[in-house]
Chains A and B, each alone.
Chain A
Amino acid sequence: MSTATLTAPAPSRRASLRPRGLLWSVLRLHRTALWVWLAFVVATAGLLLWLTGPAAHDAQHQLETFGYAGVLKAASSSATFLSFTSGAYNDLFYDPDTLITLGGFAVALFAAGPLIGRELENGTAQLAWTQSVSPARWLAAKLAVPACFLVLGNGLLAALYRHLWNTHSNLLVAGIDPRSLYFSLGPATVVAPLLGLALGALIGLAVRRTLPALALSGFAYFLIYAFRGNHWPFQGRYTAPDPTSRSWAIDTSGATVPDPNCYTDRGCLAEHHIARFAREYLPSPDYWPRQLLETGVLLALTALAATAAFAVVRRRAT
């Protein structure tokens, strides 16, 4: 070839830690989303730490004094109708779960809209593909960078939540809610938003229009949300809620005795020489099998959706 090849002057910037190339471009384009995500993680982590620490004192005191009756008393102290804003510890305990679920929805919508769909609709994806970047590499960066932030953020939140569960799950009113929370917390908490990311990207690539992609992606994540925790067909029969309180009392001699059923009657408690109560709610031997099975299935679906997304982008452009 006779075409003269121009060698660009070698870049003199050698700041090794500064993001380069596609990484820089993805971080710069989605800077706002990144800050929103960091704020979300910090706020949710703060809520979890608060629930682990100071917020639990009153409910803990009620449990120690009155046993399970104290837990029920603390739970019914709420003055508001909405459980999300109720001051009762039993309600607040589930708020981080709601936030993490909403975060997953936001991820799926973000992937279908701003991350992929809008770029295809505006033609800015084609702008990136006509730099020295192939569509497959572009998609890889678009998926990998958010995935890293998701794994780090949700990993931290899931770990804090597990810690909160181990510390204070005995302050929860027995029933169906603690059970479904218990089975949904773990590695699957981290993987589910990744599936949302991959599905959103796939839908964005296939639909190429922001609004329909948002709607479809929201619906897809709703399906994941509906099955999350303990409702997948592959998990077999849905296990019944556990209504027993699983609490016991300790008398002044230090011996473990059954709950004398005094409710909140202090005279009755004194009569039975009860020093304090303890409770261990819901340890379950099938937690890890269920959790790991769900994680595996979610990971497989994520891989499938990501592979399909790469197939779509390869079919569309070279």
Chain B
Amino acid sequence: MSSTSTTPAVALEATGLGKRYGRKAAPALDDCSFRLPAGRISALVGPNGAGKSTLLALAAGLLHPTAGTLRVLGAAPGELRDRVAYLGQNKPLYPQLTIADTLRMGAELNPSRWDAAYAARIVEEGALHPGQKIRGLSGGQRTRVALALALGKRPALMLLDEPMADLDPLARHDLMGTLMADAAEHGTTVLMSSHIVSELADVCDHLLLLGGGRIRLGGGIDDLLAAHTLVTGRGTAADLAPHTVVESRPAGRGLTALIRREGPVDPAWQTEEPSLEELLLAHLRSPDAPALLTPATTTAPLAVQA
């Protein structure tokens, strides 16, 4: 890797990335720049249509960007297909194949890295019979098979698009556990889009919030939480200067606001650290808030903002 020695290895690096579907449509991604350090489990969140699926498909080498560049594990997207796993939003699988044949296909198409025992174990944990046809499986069972196919190739980077959307809570918990154990054991980088915020807080240590085609918030979750404060008190949003007010709303006679601190907060305000859900909701509700990327997540040599 050609980056400086202090920077950790980078799994994903976007520079001015843009993708537009057709000339008249608004761009799905627009001048999007960020860096995802290797080994992180990153949540990709954003409102519907924010470009989450587009970003994941670009990284998987399924689409060409219309602008900018994207480096995946230091190479162009699609160059290291054997080391990148991708799970599409609708979990496509061949309906006419049995589970055993689906896994066999994984072995045949990933000859250098396939771990048959591991893939088989993931399927067996779901009480699925290898002879069953994919056609006859429920949505959640299909997700399990699709995940077994993705994990069986022992990827260095996993791109998961809404992986858990159609799983029951128990299966979701089990599969998340499998996924996270694998990631922790092998240092796999995971980038996963999801709407289930409570879940993300448990499993992810990194966050990329997409909005308007760009990263609005990016970095380690702890760092991001620490950079923000939830304040309550009497006063107006203007009184909170020089802090950046992400969102404020009236509460009783005063207001509650999520701020990005610039120095110490006036003790007249009651402060607490926001939860991840509060942080995300505040940013989703105020699309005009300035972007914040922690140093490890920016592509520029200098951090733009602290």
Residues of A within 8 A of B (CB): 1-4, 6, 8, 11, 20-22, 24-25, 28-29, 32, 122-124, 126-134, 315-318
A-B contacts counted at CB < 8 A amount to: 110
Contact between A318 and B73, CB atoms less than 8 A apart? no
**Smallest CB-CB separation from B63: which chain A residue?**
A317
A94 to B74, CA, bound (A): 62
Contact between A8 and B113, CB atoms less than 8 A apart? yes
Contact between B154 and A124, CB atoms less than 8 A apart? no
Contact between A4 and B62, CB atoms less than 8 A apart? no
**Smallest CB-CB separation from A6: which chain B residue?**
B154
Q: Which of B103-111, B226-234, B243-251, B287-295 contacts A (4 or more CB under 8 A)?
A: B103-111
The 6 closest A-B pairs by CB, nearest first: A318-B78, A123-B92, A131-B109, A132-B82, A130-B86, A318-B61
B257 to chain A, nearest CB (A): 41
Known: A6-B154, A8-B113, A318-B61. A124 touches B108 (CB 8 A): no
* Secondary structure call for the B interface: loop
A80 to B97, CA, bound (A): 45
Number of interface residues of B (CB under 8 A): 47
A302 to chain B, nearest CB (A): 27
Query: Is B77's beta carbon under 8 Å from chain A?
Result: yes
Which residues of the other chain, B, contact A134 by a CB distance below 8 angstroms? 78, 81
A251 to chain B, nearest CB (A): 67
A21 to B109, CA, bound (A): 5
A213 to chain B, nearest CB (A): 18
Contact between A317 and B64, CB atoms less than 8 A apart? yes
- Having A1-B9, A8-B112, A131-B81, one finds 6 other A-B pairs with CB under 8 Å, namely A2-B38, A6-B113, A25-B105, A25-B109, A124-B93, A129-B62
A34 to B90, CA, bound (A): 28
Which residues of the other chain, A, contact B38 by a CB distance below 8 angstroms? 1-3
Which residues of the other chain, B, contact A4 by a CB distance below 8 angstroms? 186-187
Q: Which of A20, A21, A29 contacts B97 (CB 8 A)?
A: A29
Which interface residue of B76, B79, B88, B105 has the most chain A CB atoms within 10 A?
B105
Which interface residue of A11, A130, A133 has the most chain B CB atoms within 10 A?
A130
Which residues of the other chain, B, contact A29 by a CB distance below 8 angstroms? 94, 96-97
**Smallest CB-CB separation from B1: which chain A residue?**
A1
Query: Is B156's beta carbon under 8 Å from chain A?
Result: yes
Query: B1-39 vs A: 1/0 string, CB under 8 Å?
Result: 100000001000000000000000000000000000011
Which residues of the other chain, A, contact B153 by a CB distance below 8 angstroms? 131-132
